[in-house]
Amino acid sequence: MTFKKKILFWVLALGASYFLLSYHIIFFGKQPRLLKKSHLTLNYTFFSVQSKPNQKIMAIDDLREDGIADLLVEEGKMKEEERDLYLEQYEETEDDR
């Protein structure tokens, strides 16, 4: 392998790694959506909302803090009123800590 190919390989590998650390890939059936992570992590990089109740999805701190509720509303899986109730509920829970 030539030096240029090695450099290209490492640039692509590092770029892909940074992408996976920076975004959640949320699957609504076969259609994936991207959700920016608030900090670099591999937690919940790939997540499917198919056949999961909204309550279980909203219970995941990393996804909730990164804005999955808005994504669920956009996709029609949750109503705005329900989103507000969940966010209010978890905000109160965090205040109690």
Tens of pLDDT, residues 12-62: 999 999 999 999 999 998 889 999 999 999 999 999 999 999 999 999 999
Predicted local distance difference test score (pLDDT) of residue 95: 60
Using CB atoms within 10 A of its CB, is residue 74 exposed (0-12), middle (13-18) or buried (19+)?
exposed
pTM for the structure as a whole? 0.84
Q: Is the dihedral of CA 67, 87, 46, 44 positive or negative?
A: positive
Predicted local distance difference test score (pLDDT) of residue 92: 72
What mean pLDDT is predicted for residues 66-90? 93
